[in-house]
Amino acid sequence: LCPQWPYCRKRCSYCNFNTYVVPAVDEAAVRACLVREALTLLRLSQVHSVTSVFFGGGTPSLASPRTVAAVLEAVAGATQLPAGAEVTLEANPSSTSTSHLAGFRAAGVNRLSIGVQSLDDAELRLLGREHTAEEAQKAVEAARGLFPGRTSIDLLFGLPGQSRDAWAQRLEAALGLCDDHISLYQLTLERGTALAAQVRGGALPAPPPDLLADMYQTARTVLVAAGFRHYEVSNFARKGALSTHNLSYWRSDQYIGVGPGAHGRFVPRGEGGCSREARVQTLEPVAWMREVQSQGHGTRSRVVLSPLEQLEELLTLGLRTDEGITHEHWEHFSPQLSLQDVFGAPGEARALQQQGWLLLDGGGLRCTWAGLAVLDSLLPDLLWQLQRR
Amino acid sequence: MALAGRTAMRWARLRSPCPAAAPLCRPAWLPAACERRYSCPGKEKLDMSSYPVESIRNFSIIAHVDHGKSTLADRLLEITGTISKTDRNKQVLDKLQVERERGITVKAQSASLFYNHEGINYLLNLIDTPGHVDFSYEVSRSLSACQGVILVVDANEGIQAQTVANFYLAFEAQLSIIPVINKIDLKNADPERVEKQIEKLFDIPTDECVRISAKQGTNVEKVLQKVIEKIPPPQCNTADPLKALVFDSTFDHYRGVIANIALFGGEIAKGHKIVSAHTKKRYEVNEVGILTPNEQPTHKLYAGQVGYLIAGMKEVTEAQIGDTLFLYKQPVEPLPGFKSAKPMVFAGMYPIDQTEYNNLKSALERLTLNDSSVTVHRDSSLALGAGWRLGFLGLLHMEVFNQRLEQEYNMSVILTAPTVPYKAVLSSAKLIKEYGKEQITIINPAQFPDKLSVSEYLEPTVLGTIVTPHEYIGKIIALCQDRRAVQKDMLYIDENRVMLKYLFPLNEIVVDFYDALKCLSSGYASFDYEDAGYQAAELIKMDILLNGNPVEELATITHNDKAYATGKLLCERLKEAIPRQLFEIAIQAAIGKKIIARETLKAYRKNVVAKCYGGDITRRMKLLKRQAEGKRLMRKIGNVEVPRDAFIRILKRETDK
C-alpha cells in the first residue's frame, strides 16, 4: 500500500513530482479521504494481507502522526497488517524533530527514508532544499536513534558543476553518517523544473556523460567495499536491510496507490475482475478529495494490462535488481512461455550475453555488473525480442 | 536563387506548419490558384478582326525580383480598363500563393490590353515571363512571342544580377528595350545613378529611361505610350498559312490542356484542324480566345495576336513550350529554338511517413500535370523507404515545386540535398558496349564508374553573375574561389557597385552558396546563373563507413579538392546524428581503400534511469516500447544501428543556416 501526502513546504529546483505548496492544509479532511480511499481500494482488491506500507509524497513527514496512525489503523482493520510489516515514511531533514519522529514511530512507522540529497550547503542551495548539511546530519542521527538499522538516506549525484572529487567527498561523508541503506540517484534534469531550465539556458553546466558514468562506478565500488549489497540500480543495503516495499515494485507484486496522483497495480477481484490493472488516482488534491467524498475513491484512470504488457513491466523492472528475474518468478506471470523460450533462442538477448551485458543461467535472467549501468540500452532490444514471441 | 527581400518571410513560412498552406486559404477575391476561370457563357464572342497587325504590340516586363514587375503590370491592367481600379490589385497576374510570397512568377500569365492612343485603338499583349533563369527556356520562349520588353529597375537598388541576365536574354532576342526606373517615390531613390548604370552596362542613353512609381501610378501612362512608339508591330501576315508558337500551357481538369499561343502567321478558329510540329499529333480546335487576364473567347485569332487555344489535348506534354502548331495539310517551317526541358538539379523526395506514399504520389502526379519540366523517377532508399528521384531545371524550380506541394497539396516531404548530373567519358570497351555509348550521365553515386575505365569525368557548369556593393568584393572573391569558380569578368557599373562573372561548377552552388553570399554581403549582393555546359573535372566517389562497413545511401560524388572537407563534415554530422551505442563506433570517410576523415562515437558507459518505482512506470514503459518499436525501423550497418531520423538529418537539404 502506498499512501501519498501530496504537499510540500517548498518546491525543490529539480523536482517534477505531483506536489503542491499550499498555505494551509485541511489535514482532517485529507486524512479522512486517505482513510476512505484506502478502505475502498483494499475492499476492491480483496488482498488478504498488506506486506508493506510506504508513505510517499510530497513530504509526508509534514503530516501529523495522527494521520499516519489513522491510515494504518484503517488498513489493520480492513485486512491483515502483520506485526513485522515494513512501514516506511519519507522524511525531509527540515521536518524531523526527534519528538515528531517519535510520534511517527508510535503511530506504527518502523522505517524512515530521509531525503538528505547532499551533505554540502552550496549543493543543497542549488537543489532548492530547505535544510543545511548540519541539519541533515542531525536528522539522520535522530532517526537512527529511533529506527536503528531501519533508516535510509537519499543522495543525489551528477549535480551541475559537481566534480568527481566533490562527489567522492560527499560519498565518504555519507558513509560516516549512514545506517544500513542508501539510495544514490543520478540527478535527472526533468523537463519543466527550474534546474533543467537553467542548464538548458546555459546558466549552469550540463554534467558530461563520462563524468556521470565515473561517479556511478565510484559509488558502486566504494559502497560495495563498505559491505553494501548493490541490490538495485540506485539502491544499496547491508545486513539485509533491503527495502521490502520497493522490492515489491521491482518484482511486479500487487500494490495499491492511495492519494492524489498515486499509481497502483492490482487485480480488482472485489468487482469480479481477474486481470491486473494499471490505475492512477486523480492528480489534484482538491478534485481528488471531492471524488473520494462522493464515490469513495478518486481513481482517474484504469487500464487492463495485457499478459504481454505485464511481462514487459516484469522485464523492465526486474532487471534493475541484482537477482534479476528468476525462472520461478517469470513462470508465475508466464506459465506457457519460459524465460529460456523467449531469451534462450538466438536473438538480441543471446548477442547481449555474448557481449557481456546479460546473464541467463540457472538463476534466471539478470544484468552483469557492466550491463546494469547501461540497462536502458539493453531493454529496447529485449522488449523487441519479447514482442516477437 | 536570386531572391532578395522576401527570403526571410518565405523561410518563416516554410518552417511553420502554417495553416495558410492549405490550398483554400486565399482571399475570396482571388481567382483559384492554378485554375482559370470559366469564361462567362452568355457573353458575346469578341471579333478580333478589327485589330490589324499594325495596331498590335507584343511585349513583356522583365525585372529583378521585387523591382516592381507585377505592380507595374497591375497598373497597366487598370489604366487600360482590363481590370477595375481598386486598392486590392496586387500581383493580379501572379496567381499562385508561392508567387505572391516570393514575389516571383512561376507560371507566366498573359493579358491583352485595349488602349486608345491618338485616336487609334491598339491591342497590347502583355506576355508575362517567369522571373528567373531557372526558367530561362520558358523566358526565352515567352520573349520570342514579343517584339519588345519593359526592363524595370528599382531606383534604390539599381541593377541587380537578374536585371543583367534578363537584359541579355532580351538583347540576344533583338527586342526593343524600354528601360523603366521604378519606385522613384522611395526616400532613398536615386534614379540618376541607376540611369548611369544602365548607360554604362547596357549602352542605353540616360534620356531614354522612364522614371515611374508603379505603386502610385506616376508616369505609367508614359510607359504605355513608349510601348506603342518604340516597339514595332509583329512582322507577319494573316494571308500566310497558320503558324502558332506555344509559349505556355496549363492544365484544366475539365477542359484539358489550355495552350497559350502567339500567331506568327494566318488565323485560327473553332473547327480548324491543327497539327503539332513536335508530336505530329492532330487536333480539332474547340475554342480560341484572348486573356484579359481571364479567358475571353473570340471568333478567331489573327496573325500577330496572342491568346489561348483549347483543342482536346489531354496532357501538358502535348503542348510543349516552344512547339509550333500549323493547319493540317498546310505544314510550315517550325519556329526555331524548340528543345525539351533538361533537368539540371536532382533530389530525392520521400514521404515523411511511408503510409503517405500514395497521397504524395497522387499530389506529384497532379502537380506535374502543370509542370512538365520536372522529371520523376521512382527510387527507393534502404533508410528512407520508397520515394522518387526528381529532376528540376534549377534550384529555385526545386524550391518552388516543394513549396507548391506543401501549400497546394498540404504535403510534407523529405527532400534530400540536391545533386547534379555528372558525366563520364568511358574508355573501357566493355563498358561502352554495355551502355551502348561512350558518354554516360551519372545521377546516382552507385553508378559511378571506376577511374580505370574512364578517360575523363565531366561536371556541369554555370555562368554566375553577381552584383554587389564594392566593399564586399574581397569576401565574395574568396567565397567564389573556395567554390572552385573561375573569374570571367569584373566590371564597376558605377562608383560603388561591381558586377562579377564567374564560371562555377554547378554542384558548388546547389547547396548553400546563395545563403553564404547573402550572409557575407549583409544581403546586398544578388546572384543569378545560366547554364554553361560541361567541363572536365577530377571527380571521385567517396564512401562513408561505420565500423568499416559502407553506408550505401551516404556515398557521394565529389571533386578531388573537396573530398577532405566534405568527408570531414559528413563524419561530424553523423557523429551528432547517431545515438551512442554499447560499443565504440568509428565513422570514416574513404576514397577507395584510403581513409580521409574519421570521427569516433564513444560507447555508452551509463544509461539507466535513476528512479524507477511504482509511480512512473507507465510513462517509462511507453518510452521503452517506442524505442523497441523503433528497432524495426533501424537501419543496421554491420552491428551499428542507425535510426531513420539520422539519415533524414544527414541527407536532408539544409534550408537555412
Residue B306 within any structural domain of the chain:
yes
Q: Inter-chain contact B607–A313, Cβ cutoff 8 Å?
A: no
**At residue B12, does pLDDT exceed 60?**
no
Calpha distance A157→A166 (Å, rounded): 10
User: pLDDT grade, residue B158 (50/70/90)?
Assistant: very high
- Summarised one tens digit per residue, pLDDT across range B557-595 is 999 998 999 899 999 999 998 989 999 999 999 998 999
Strand partners, A117: A155
Among B606, B616, B629, the residue with its CB nearest the CB of A212 is B606
Contacts of B614 in chain A (CB under 8 A): 2, 249, 255, 257, 263-265
Q: Are residues B194 and B68 in the same domain?
A: yes
Our CA-based measurement puts residue A235 at a distance from the nearest CA of chain B, in whole angstroms, of 10
**At residue B26, does pLDDT exceed 60?**
no
Nearest CA in chain A to B608: A376
Calpha distance A88→A98 (Å, rounded): 16
Highest mean pLDDT (candidates A31-35, B130-134, B376-380): A31-35
- Summarised one tens digit per residue, pLDDT across range A351-375 is 999 999 999 999 999 999 999 999 9
- Summarised one tens digit per residue, pLDDT across range A291-322 is 999 999 999 999 999 999 999 999 999 999 99
Q: Are residues B496 and B530 in the same domain?
A: yes
**At residue A383, does pLDDT exceed 90?**
yes
Our CA-based measurement puts residue B573 at a distance from the nearest CA of chain A, in whole angstroms, of 20
Which of B613, B623, B625 is best to mutate for the A interface (most A CBs within 10 A)?
Answer: B613
Q: Are residues B78 and B175 in the same domain?
A: yes
Calpha distance B425→B438 (Å, rounded): 6
Contacts of B624 in chain A (CB under 8 A): 312, 316, 376, 379-380, 383
Calpha distance A70→A90 (Å, rounded): 17
- Give pLDDT, residue B22: 33
Q: Are residues B113 and B192 in the same domain?
A: yes
Interchain CB contact of A350 with B (< 8 Å): no
DSSP string, B17-68: T-GGGSTT-S-TTSPPTT-PPPPPTTSPPB-GGGS-GGGEEEEEEEESTTSS
In 3D space, the residue among A57, A45, A27, A9 whose CA is nearest the CA of residue A256 turns out to be A45
Between helix B161-172 and helix B191-202 the angle, nearest 10°, is: 50
Write down the mean pLDDT value for chain A. 93
User: CA B342, B347, B350: angle at the middle one, nearest 5?
Assistant: 130
Asked if B299 contacts B277 with a C-beta cutoff of 8 angstroms, the reply is: no
Interchain CB contact of A211 with B (< 8 Å): no
- End-to-end Cα, chain B, rounded Å: 15
Q: Are residues B499 and B580 in the same domain?
A: no
Residue B46 within any structural domain of the chain:
no
Q: Which chain B residues touch A if contact means CB-CB below 8 Å? A: 580-583, 602, 604-618, 620-621, 624-625, 627-632
For B94-105, what is the mean pLDDT?
59
Interchain CB contact of A379 with B (< 8 Å): yes
- Give pLDDT, residue B96: 59
Nearest CA in chain A to B605: A213
> Tell me, what CATH number does B531's domain have?
3.30.70.240
> Is the pTM value of this prediction over 0.90?
no
> Tell me, what CATH number does B303's domain have?
2.40.30.10
Query: Reduced to 3 states, what is the DSSP secondary structure of residue B1?
Result: coil
- Give pLDDT, residue A95: 81
Our CA-based measurement puts residue B625 at a distance from the nearest CA of chain A, in whole angstroms, of 7
**For chain A, which residues make up each domain, given as ranges?**
2-248, 307-388
Least confident of B363-372, B522-531, B533-542: B363-372
- Summarised one tens digit per residue, pLDDT across range A318-339 is 999 999 999 999 999 999 999 9
Our CA-based measurement puts residue A24 at a distance from the nearest CA of chain B, in whole angstroms, of 26
Among B607, B610, B614, the residue with its CB nearest the CB of A257 is B614
Among A264, A374, A383, the residue with its CB nearest the CB of B625 is A383
**At residue B35, does pLDDT exceed 50?**
no
Q: Which residue has the higher pLDDT, A209 or B253?
A: A209
Among B507, B537, B567, the domain boundary falls at B537
Residue whose cell numbers read 531545371: B393
Q: Inter-chain contact A234–B610, Cβ cutoff 8 Å?
A: yes
**At residue B399, does pLDDT exceed 90?**
no
Q: Inter-chain contact B608–A278, Cβ cutoff 8 Å?
A: no
Among A2, A188, A380, the residue with its CB nearest the CB of B610 is A188
**At residue A4, does pLDDT exceed 60?**
yes
Asked if B125 contacts B59 with a C-beta cutoff of 8 angstroms, the reply is: yes
* Matching fold, domains A2-248 and A307-388: no
Instruction: Please give the ipTM for the structure prediction.
Output: 0.88
Strand partners, B440: B424
The CATH number corresponding to A307-388 among 1.10.10, 3.30.200, 1.10.3470, 1.10.287 equals: 1.10.10
Residues 6+ apart with CB under 8 A from B231: B57, B58, B59, B147, B148, B176, B178
Residue B132 within any structural domain of the chain:
yes
Among B230, B263, B281, the domain boundary falls at B230
Among B582, B608, B614, the residue with its CB nearest the CB of A2 is B614
The CATH number corresponding to A2-248 among 3.50.50.60, 3.40.50.300, 3.20.20.70, 3.40.50.740 equals: 3.20.20.70
Interchain CB contact of A267 with B (< 8 Å): no
Amino acid at B472: Y
- Summarised one tens digit per residue, pLDDT across range A247-268 is 999 999 999 999 999 999 999 9
Q: Inter-chain contact B627–A380, Cβ cutoff 8 Å?
A: yes
Q: Are residues B460 and B314 in the same domain?
A: no
Q: Are residues B159 and B270 in the same domain?
A: no
Among B582, B610, B618, the residue with its CB nearest the CB of A357 is B582
For A83-87, what is the mean pLDDT?
93
Provide the residue range defining the domain that includes B432: 422-537
Asked if A277 contacts A303 with a C-beta cutoff of 8 angstroms, the reply is: yes
User: CA B154, B157, B158: angle at the middle one, nearest 5?
Assistant: 70
**At residue B487, does pLDDT exceed 90?**
yes
Calpha distance B70→B79 (Å, rounded): 14
Nearest CA in chain A to B615: A263
User: CA A273, A276, A281: angle at the middle one, nearest 5?
Assistant: 95
Q: Are residues B98 and B117 in the same domain?
A: yes
C-alpha cell at B68: 516592381
Q: Which residue has the higher pLDDT, A201 or B635?
A: A201
> Tell me, what CATH number does B575's domain have?
3.30.70.2570
Residues 6+ apart with CB under 8 A from A134: none
- Give pLDDT, residue B657: 36
Contacts of A185 in chain B (CB under 8 A): 610-611
Total number of domains constituting chain B: 5
Q: Are residues B223 and B206 in the same domain?
A: yes
Interchain CB contact of A320 with B (< 8 Å): yes
Interchain CB contact of A381 with B (< 8 Å): yes
Q: Inter-chain contact B618–A320, Cβ cutoff 8 Å?
A: no
Quote the percentage of chain B above a pLDDT of 70. 86
Residue B637 within any structural domain of the chain:
yes
Number of Cα atoms under 13 Å in the Cβ half of residue B650: 27
